[in-house]
Amino acid sequence: MTRKPQDTAPRNGGIGIEWPTMAIATLIYGGWLALTWWHAALPTPVIVVAGGWLVAWHGSLQHETIHGHPTRWRVVNAAIGAVPLSLWLPYGLYRDSHVAHHRSPHITDPLDDPESRYVASSRGVRHVAARVQATLLGRLLFGPFLAVLALVADEGRRLARQPGRVARDWLPHLALVMPIVAWLEWTGFGTLRYLLLVVYPGLSLTLLRSFAEHRANLPGPSRAATVERAGPLGLLYLNNHLHTAHHDRPDLAWYRLPAHQRRHHARLSAQAGRAHRSYGEIVRRFALAPHDALVHPGRQDRR
């Protein structure tokens, strides 16, 4: 996460505000406040489902703001997305990593794409972590914990090389985390309980989306796959299940992606290779089976 590319997403042309995205942001933040305020009246399963949904939905909203939505003003978009409901990941790190992912000329290559799930070698800690998450069940159960560990390790190394940049990314994040933690403690929800019941399942939902959205042997330059029917998860992921379409037009707002997918279905399908029919299909195929090889095919001869 040491690369610092600039976000070049268009500023929405002549559109001042994208109201569908603003409505989603209002639902997320309003729902979060309601859930944490009235948590004592809610059964634990409701808290897990609703809280996990809201945190995952918020991650989808952050993704929209990184791509220049819902306004033409970068500072407003960042203000909408930077509230750290998940607590653990600074918005700036996510933004820089995701922009680098889109700009990578070799998407899925772990030495060039910071969001790659592949590893460069069959040895070491990273390979062990990838093996644990090779199946969908392993990714959902252990992926959130391993993602936080990976962030700690990466940021520890970066701190030794670039302490100023680490401070620039983390100090604003911690300043925003503090009032959230204070709110959780004041309402009696509790930070640890929030991490276990809300953040962890929310990150698992996000990892379900990203589990099969890229593969090194797909024909298109983005190596992106498509899930044709997402059901309610399409709203949760803000149509990012149409991942080939998103990489084709990363500037499009989430609610415009389905129309783009329909208009260019043949071309995008050729780029995506075999599309997944649904997330149900992904669960059936990969719950206990690996989605792909762990070592990137371009790195196998360098092991």
- For position 271, what pLDDT does the model report? 86
Neighbour count for residue 270 (Cβ, 10 Å): 12
Q: Where do the domains of the chain lie?
A: 19-302
Q: Which residues of 175-208 are buried (b: 16+ CB within 10 A; e: fewer)?
A: ebbeebeebbeebebebeebbebbbbbbbbbbbb
- Tell me the pLDDT tens digit for each residue of 9-38: 444 444 589 999 999 999 999 999 999 999
- Tell me the pLDDT tens digit for each residue of 81-139: 999 999 999 999 999 999 999 999 999 999 999 999 999 998 999 999 999 999 999 99
pLDDT above 70 for 303: no
Percent of the chain with pLDDT over 70: 94
pLDDT tier, 274 (very low <50, low <70, confident <90, very high otherwise) = confident
pLDDT above 60 for 8: no
